[in-house]
Structure 1
Amino acid sequence: MAAHAPIAAQDLQSFGDESQRSRSDSDILVSEYHAVPLHVRAQAEAWELPREEIQFANVIGEGEGGIVYQCRWRGLDCVAKKLAQDSNASAEYADMINELSTVSRLRHPNLVLFLGACTKGNGPLIILSEYLPGGNLADYAAKQRQLKSRSRGRPSMEIAYTWCMDLARAVCYLHNCTTPVIHRDLKPANLLLTDDLRLKVSDFGLCKTLLKDSADGKPYKMTGNKGTLQYMAPEVIQCLPNYNEKVDIYSAGMIFWFIGMGCEPFEGVGAEVLSQWIASQGKRPPLEEIAMRSSRAFSPSCWLGEEFGSLINRCWDGEPELRPSADQVVEELELIWKNEKFGYCQSSFAVSFC
């Protein structure tokens, strides 16, 4: 294999478009890309922002890794994620650098838009992204349960399929990047809503790129217990020697169930018991109320059908190789929705809850 020269700042322009490179070239280029100093990437890709341009407002989220602010930047309402402590050696810093390295090269309608970052000067690392007024899906569903207790706030069939499709298309894009991206922390709290209730994926702090082994062409696989337990694949819970992009498919299946039911899977179950249920006993949430049209618990507009239930069941299969690919999930959702729409609804997308 021919040797590759180190990447210069001007060469980084070629990293912006995932579609222009073969996967064999990308395996080498991406590893070199991550070795380039962050400030060089920022300058070459034009996403370094002057700190003084960001006008911070109220805190909208806080965790171990950082503080999330609503802010204004160049006339736009934005969200700024600021590192909690200004330490380049912290694990939180490493997570934010990982997130920044990934989101700065991704573009898709169902991913929260990256606007830029502050990596230079005195002060903590800051990542700036678009502001979505609908909040996250977990909080939205909780409010709907309070407002519409009779139906538990379950969305209509049309909205449910739209959200599932938005998520599936985002995952399909990530998994089909020239160097595939695995999110690893898909959950309702990381799915944000626009003002017209379309869904976008956020929070790439735990994501990983999946390179291919130059010797045999097989994908590298990952280790480590990352994510949120209710949405975590059994192979991750068990800390098995390796896993791949199918962990996102498992999480998507759990989120599909959440969307269909309007509540968290395994709500109220302790972490230790839940780990045993999922990983050792293969337990999954019940599908009857989602799939069975004979159920009288909810309005007919909330039933999602047996085909949808079957898709969920395959997404959360205990054997990763039996789970569908993201491409297959998108194709099946499109087909299921066409069939359901033909017999159920001829209207265009409109926000309504049963």
Structure 2
Amino acid sequence: MAAGQDPLPMLLGQKGKAVGPLGDKLSDESFLNQMRLFYACAAGDPVNAKSLLETTDVNFRDHYGRTALHSACGCTSAGAKETVKLLLKKKADVNAVDSSGMSAIDIAVKVKNGSIRRILEERGAELEAMLERQGRESAWLLAASELTLRKELANTLKSVVHLADWHGTSVVVKSVKMGHRNRLTHMTKSASFCDDDSGPEQEEISDEEGENLRRAVEEELLHEIELVASFRHPDLVLFLGACLDPGAPVMFVTEYMPRGDVEKHMSQQREVKQVAWYTPPLSRMISWCCAVARALAFLHKFPVLHRDLKPMNLLLTEKLDVKVSDFGTGRLIEKVDGNKTLDVTNALTMGTVGTFTYTAPEMMRSSDYDEKVDIYAFALIMYYLSSGRPPFMHLHPQDLIEKYAAGEQPRPNVGDCHRVMRGLVERCWAVDPKERPSAVEILKALHEIDDRGHCDACSTM
């Protein structure tokens, strides 16, 4: 090939033609310009892409139904984000699907490009449609007709949780509220469910406010489905599937944990034993801590943050083993310029994520943070388990927030803890996040504390 000769005709085949979205036949030169646009987008070259877009259709499709946006979303070079933004500014169809059923957001997720994925979501990319395609491929997509609701287990501002039957197995179904009531009329309902489905009385809000809240909560649940569908671990509550039926609430299905959560268990034990503060036996406490540490070690390896660790999100099996649940606020850490930063998303009903009492100070300030926020929350959980006392029990949550905002660093009295746990707890809630140990280091410390063999599982990491 002669110097300076355009290589595209040779690469694409002689005299190739294509059809645009309006069905108009393109000239050879126009077709070649479209392919040059695809090449510029695939290379993350916004300068050439901008020049080519002056004369070419941003939504042109190649033989496989792909658009320039598909090409740009598969790029991981430095210019990829600017190229995607340019295409969207030029009215690229954010939900265009190629002949294999892939959309631009599918490709961004496949190449693990979180920043581009968020740009697409902000411009209206259909996360639910993407998850539905993934669900079919991974066989976790369920039909609503497969589920029979039994009774309500929990009812909050954002969602409702039911015990249900799924092919003879007891499961838990979490769904987004549809307006003021959770419309699950398309599902088979048992008599026990129909007896009382009114839920707690709630403050009336406008239809627009209700719809905005529903969409925000639904997006949170979709993110949770996407996150947990990608991994399995014995110390995480098992994800079984999700229902994304059109016109119905999104439903998230997990294994049933019959003994409830740790906070409820601690409260019940206080009543049964008629004591002010209940602490589980040391062997059980260490076993529970080991389970949480193993789960965190697994998550942080990805790296994924939980961001809402608390006793209510630690669920118990029939044998009182602990598993970690509720990833509604979990997020994948990205690496930018070699440093870990976190995409701090909106927290729906409060300015930060997680529950105030167990939230790290750096999260309260909405500053950059990493996996050490989970370690801080774990420190407060260990304090609670080994002392029986809720952390900051004498502080109103608003007062705690104000102290953090003023730069103060209040901590519970570590002397309330079992003596063997005090040193580890203090390390885990260190003021400087860098001084907090990793989950793997916590596991090793727990094994050293338990050198008499209370928790054999600690030594398996």
User: What is the TM-score with the length of structure 2 in the denominator?
Assistant: 0.63
Shift of 1:278: 5.1
1:244 aligns with 2:367: no
Q: After the TM superposition, which residues 110-189 of structure 1 pair with which residues of structure 2 at under 5 Å, given as runs?
A: 110-150=235-275, 152-177=277-302, 180-189=303-312
- Is the contact made by 2:365 and 2:404 (CA closer than 8 Å) also made in structure 1? no
1:334 aligns with 2:447: yes
* Amino acid in the other structure paired with 2:134: R
- 2:133 maps to which residue? 40
1:106 aligns with 2:231: yes
- Is the contact made by 2:153 and 2:162 (CA closer than 8 Å) also made in structure 1? yes
**Runs of at least 5 residues in structure 1 that lack an aligned partner in the other structure:** 16-24, 293-304, 350-354
- 1:194 maps to which residue? 317
- Is the contact made by 1:147 and 1:153 (CA closer than 8 Å) also made in structure 2? no
* Amino acid in the other structure paired with 2:322: L
Q: 1:26 and 1:317, CA in 2 relative to 1: closer, same or farther beyond 3 A?
A: farther
The CA distance in 1 between the partners of 2:221 and 2:357, in whole Å, is 24
- Is the contact made by 2:387 and 2:418 (CA closer than 8 Å) also made in structure 1? no
Shift of 1:2: 6.4
The superposition leaves residues 146-165 of structure 1 with CA deviations (integer Å, 9 ceiling, x where unpaired) of 12234722111100100100
The superposition leaves residues 221-273 of structure 1 with CA deviations (integer Å, 9 ceiling, x where unpaired) of 34361111110101112222x11111100000000111111231122421222
- Is the contact made by 1:192 and 1:201 (CA closer than 8 Å) also made in structure 2? yes
1:73 aligns with 2:166: yes
The CA distance in 1 between the partners of 2:314 and 2:143, in whole Å, is 28
User: What is the TM-score with the length of structure 1 in the denominator?
Assistant: 0.80
Q: 1:278 and 1:139, CA in 2 relative to 1: closer, same or farther beyond 3 A?
A: farther
- Is the contact made by 1:250 and 1:315 (CA closer than 8 Å) also made in structure 2? yes
Q: 1:43 and 1:204, CA in 2 relative to 1: closer, same or farther beyond 3 A?
A: same
1:332 is paired with a residue whose SS is helix
Shift of 1:220: 2.6
- 1:309 maps to which residue? 422
The CA distance in 1 between the partners of 2:422 and 2:304, in whole Å, is 27
The CA distance in 2 between the partners of 1:207 and 1:309, in whole Å, is 28
* Amino acid in the other structure paired with 1:226: V
* Amino acid in the other structure paired with 2:331: K
Q: After the TM superposition, which residues 13-52 of structure 1 pair with which residues of structure 2 at under 5 Å, given as runs?
A: 27-28=112-113, 37-52=130-145
1:324 aligns with 2:417: no
Q: After the TM superposition, which residues 252-267 of structure 1 pair with which residues of structure 2 at under 5 Å, given as runs?
A: 252-267=378-393
The CA distance in 2 between the partners of 1:173 and 1:31, in whole Å, is 25
1:80 is paired with a residue whose SS is strand
1:274 is paired with a residue whose SS is helix
Over 4 Å off, 4+ runs: 1-12, 29-36, 86-89
- 1:20 maps to which residue? none
Of residues 140-149 and 251-260 in structure 1, the stretch that sits farther from structure 2 once superposed is: 140-149
2:141 is paired with a residue whose SS is coil
RMSD: 2.8
* Amino acid in the other structure paired with 2:161: V
The CA distance in 2 between the partners of 1:71 and 1:268, in whole Å, is 39
Equivalent of residue 176 in structure 2, options 79, 83, 105? 83
1:138 is paired with a residue whose SS is helix
* Amino acid in the other structure paired with 2:233: H
Equivalent of residue 218 in structure 1, options 333, 336, 339? 339
Shift of 1:10: 9.2
> How many pairs align?
314
The CA distance in 1 between the partners of 2:251 and 2:286, in whole Å, is 34
The superposition leaves residues 202-236 of structure 1 with CA deviations (integer Å, 9 ceiling, x where unpaired) of 111111111222xx332233436111111010111
- 2:411 maps to which residue? 284
1:219 is paired with a residue whose SS is strand
Identity across matched positions, percent: 32
* Amino acid in the other structure paired with 2:230: R
2:373 is paired with a residue whose SS is helix
Shift of 1:291: 4.1
**Runs of at least 5 residues in structure 2 that lack an aligned partner in the other structure:** 1-41, 45-69, 75-97, 180-210, 345-350
